[in-house]
Structure formats: structure tokens, C-alpha cells
Structure 1
Amino acid sequence: MKPLLIRCSAIGKLMTEPKTKAEGPLSVGAKTHIRNLAAQEIFGVEFEVSSKEMEKGNLVEPDGIALLNRVRGLSLVKNTERKSNAWISGEADLFDAASRRGHDLKCPWSVASFPITRVDCEDKLYEWQMRGYMWLWDADEWAVNYALISTPEHLIRFEPASMHFVDHIPEHLRLTTWTVTRDPVKEAAMVEKIKAAREYYAEVLAEFTTTHPASFKRELLAA
């Protein structure tokens, strides 16, 4: 079996600290995530999550990139390369090799969910995701860019149109950026958590094998 690689988008789930020493190096939430990964491996099914927010993000991503480029004076293009090292894997949104700076793009669902200040942007899960990208792309900084784009009409349904149609708002007011700076100490902390995650992952797979023996099926058929 290949070593478990943690996706950048999931690193933050491992980095939450346990509430008690009895939990060991991994929190309850981290262990839950690892058991989900084990289930996906056992049954060969990837647990995909979908929502109207995610659907909008996928549909308007090109418009969000265009807005980011215009407002920040950039010429970024969508990245399609997935990278991995011995510990993590990820497919970043945007990367500028010349400046060694990456960009993540997020298109909020509506005006109500658009962060208007940097404090509103800060999120531990996203921070660890960006740290993963910096590690994989050897970047110095990674910016999280929130671009407010009009929602496709067929997704809005019963919500007020004024919360979703935003083209009349000046573009520079529809982009909020939060930047994460690379930190080798935190990358080392990621390695330690992933080591613990791999140990627990192996334990879960072993327990599944023990509690679902082929002999149990034969006993049922013989009964």
C-alpha cells in the first residue's frame, strides 16, 4: 500500500490540537477524517461533497480570475498541475513562478458571505491549505483572494436578486485578499501530524480487516 498522502484542502483537519492528553497526538476530528479516508480506500469510492456554493464557485471561476487580474494588474492563468511530495498532495488555483507567489481564489455565494476585511478572511483550515501549496510549489507567500461575482441566475432560486447580482459594484470593492507567509516550523509540524495520521490510518485498516473476516461470511452461509 502506498503511503497516505494528505490533500492540502484537508491538512487543517489534522492540525487541530487534541483537547486532552488521552486523545493522543490527533484530535477527535482528525481521527474522524482519517477513518473517512480509510473507508474510501476500503470501498474504492471517493466521498465527494457538493453544494450550491461549490457549484457557483466552479461556474464563475474564470470570471473571478479575470477580476483578480484586472484589479491587481496580474496575468495569472488557471493551474492544472497536481503536485505531491512525500507527505501531501494538492492542485493549486494560480501560481506566479516569477514572483514565487501563489493565489487561491474563492467566490463567495452572495454579498452576505463576502468578507469585507482581512479579519473576516482569516480561517485556520484555509491557512493550512495555503501552507501546503507553499510547500509543494516552493513559494514564499500564498494569497487567499475572495472575488465577489454575480451568481448564475439558475442557482439563486428564492433569495433576493440584490444579494447576488453585483456587476454594478466597482471591481476593486469586490476583491478582498488575505496573505499567508511561509513558515518552515509549521511545515515541520505538518509532518509530525501526518506521521501520526499514517499510524492511525494503518490501525483503522487493520481493525476493519479483523472485524470483517471472510470466515464470518462463511459462518453465516452455513447457518
Structure 2
Amino acid sequence: MKLFRCSSLHKLMGDAQSIAQELRTEEIEALIKKRKRTDAESEMIEQLKVQSLSDTAKSEIRTIVKEDLTTFKSFKGNQYTAKGNALEDIAIDLSGKVRFKQYVKHQGRWENNLITGECDILDSNNDLIIDTKCTWDIGTHPFFQDEAQEKAKKAGYDWQMQGYMWLYGCQAAEVDFWLFPCPVELTSDWDDRNQLIDLVDKIDLRERLTTVRYVRDESMIQKIKDKIPHAQAYYEKLYQERIKAKVA
């Protein structure tokens, strides 16, 4: 079965607006039409909604199927991701130093029968996972805690970290947002190098880190367990549809 990456979980976990057609039996159709339901009936309806995929989830799965069947990639990276990749080792090293530890990048993708993921830092002694994110400039860096929490949630790091904690058996996960001067080779002639490099350098390094912490949430992990089998089934349906449609 298809294993979904932790980084895509936030696109898969949204609640559907209605119960999926394949889950609608005559009994369920009758329940949907009822104006007054018992607590048990209402719980059944909610569980069926959890099992149903949202439009966003279906769209994401279609994209994944296209990528798996071809060499097409919906996202090949940009200057922002290039900066993060270039400075990842520095970010990991500094994330260790601020915690009085020596960290190196974790190697090896972990998986179970539903999801797969590879975190940046695995601190097994403290049941802790850390992911580092290098922001582009002062404007995009979350200097404030509420800003960092909003940025992390918008990017789906809340679901990603829950997936990691489930895979690695950890109790906490932290996202370190680091702001570093941009490597000059990643800038273009129309970029303002003063803003991307010089202004950043003027800020104390200790002020250029904002951390968002997550604790293991069994209810979110249970939702992953409930939802992903249906994502796998939809993926398999689409995959087989294209395989059967191939011209010999």
C-alpha cells in the first residue's frame, strides 16, 4: 500500500464536508435525512465524515499518483528551499549548541504501514524530534511566538510533527525557525542583498531563532490512523485506473 509522507499529512487530514459516496448505504442515507438523531447515530455520522476524504485530500492524492506514474514533479524547489538546503547543516549544528548538545542530521527514513518520514534531528535520550527551517529574510522570519505558531500551522508542521512522533515513538517535537544571511550565490541581480545579508548580520544570532513546540497528541495520531487507510484506498483506485488505461 502507498505510504504517505508526514509532510503531506496536513493536506490529507481535513474533514470532508459530507460523507463519501462509497460509504453511503441505505441505512446511512436514512440517518443523514433524519432531523433528530440519537447520540450514537450522531457519533456514527461523525465517524463516517472522518473516514471521508476532503476535496483538498483528493487533489493531493491525484498529484501524488501523477508523480508516481511519471517523472513529473509538481514542485521542484525555488530560491527559498535552496537556501534551506544550503544552510541545513549549520541550522542543525546551532540547534544543538543552543541546547548544549551536539546534533548531526538524522539519517534514515522511518515508516509503518500508513506513513513515512525522516526528521532532521532525533534526540532519543530526550524523546525529542527537532526540525529546522531556514527563513528567507527578516520579513518572512517569525520573530514573535504567535507568528511562529501561525506560520508552522499554515505550513502543516503540526500534523507533520505528530506523524514523526508516532513513527519515532517520541513525546515532543520542536520546529526551529532560523534566520541566516542568504548565501550570495543564491541571490540574483534584482535581489536587495543589503536586506538579505547585511541587515540580517546586524541582528544577534540568538535573536534569530524562534521555536514552536508540540507535544504528542494521541487524538491527532488516531485521526491519522483512521484517515490514511481511506487515502490509501483512493490512491490505489486512481493508480489502477491509469494502469488499466495505458495503451499497450
TM more than 0.5: yes
- SS at 2:16 equivalent: coil
Equivalent residue, structure 2, for 1:178: 212
* Aligned equivalent of 1:73, options 96, 100, 107: 100
Cα distance in 2, alignment partners of residues 53 and 46 from structure 1: 17
What's the offset of the Cα at 1:210? Answer: 4.3
Shift of 1:43: 2.9
**Taking structure 2 as the reference length, what is the TM-score of the superposition?**
0.79
Number of aligned positions between the proteins: 212
Give yes or no for the alignment of 1:106 onto 2:133. Answer: yes
Are positions 1:207 and 2:241 aligned together? yes
Do the aligned partners of 2:127 and 2:169 also contact (CA within 8 Å) in 1? yes
- 2:196 alignment counterpart: 164
Stretches of structure 1 that go unaligned for 5 or more consecutive residues are: 215-223
Q: What are the Cα deviations for residues 111-166 of structure 1, in whole angstroms up to 9, with x where unaligned?
A: 11100122212233111111111111111100000011111112222222232222
SS at match of 1:113: coil
- Please list the CA deviations of residues 167-223 of structure 1 after superposition, one character each: whole Å capped at 9, or x if unmatched: 332121000000011011211100111111011112212322444454xxxxxxxxx
SS, match of residue 139 in structure 2: helix
Q: State how far apart, in whole Å, the 2-side matches of 1:130 and 1:187 are.
A: 10
One-letter amino acid matched to 1:128: W
Measured in 1, the distance between the counterparts of 2:147 and 2:241 equals 42
Distance in 2, matches of 1:146 and 1:95, equals 17
The equivalent position to 2:230 in structure 1, one of 196, 200, 203, is: 196
Q: Is 1:67–1:147's contact at 8 Å kept on the other side of the alignment?
A: no
Aligned to 1:220: none
Distance 1:194-1:170 versus aligned 2 partners, 3 A rule: same
Residue identity opposite 1:132 in structure 2: G
Contact 2:92 2:120 in 1 (8 A): no
1:171 and 1:72 map into 2 onto residues whose CA distance is 14
TM-score (norm 1): 0.87
Secondary structure of residue in 2 paired with 1:197: helix
Given that 1:107 and 1:149 are in contact with CA atoms closer than 8 Å, whether structure 2 keeps it comes out as yes
Is 1:7–1:90's contact at 8 Å kept on the other side of the alignment? yes
Between the aligned partners of 2:65 and 2:115, the Cα distance in structure 1 is 16
Measured in 2, the distance between the counterparts of 1:167 and 1:52 equals 19
1:72-121 per-residue CA deviation (whole Å, 9 max, x = no partner) reads: 32321111111111111111100111111110000001111100122212
Q: Secondary structure at the match of 1:86?
A: coil
- Aligned equivalent of 2:14, options 16, 22, 31: 16
Task: Give the percent of matched residue pairs that are identical in Structure 1 and Structure 2.
Answer: 31
Question: Counterpart of 2:9 in 1: which secondary structure?
Answer: helix
Aligned partner of 1:221 in structure 2 is none
Deviates most, 140-149 or 157-166: 157-166
CA RMSD of aligned residues (A): 1.9
Aligned 1:26-65 pairs, distance under 5 A? 26-43=53-70, 49-65=76-92
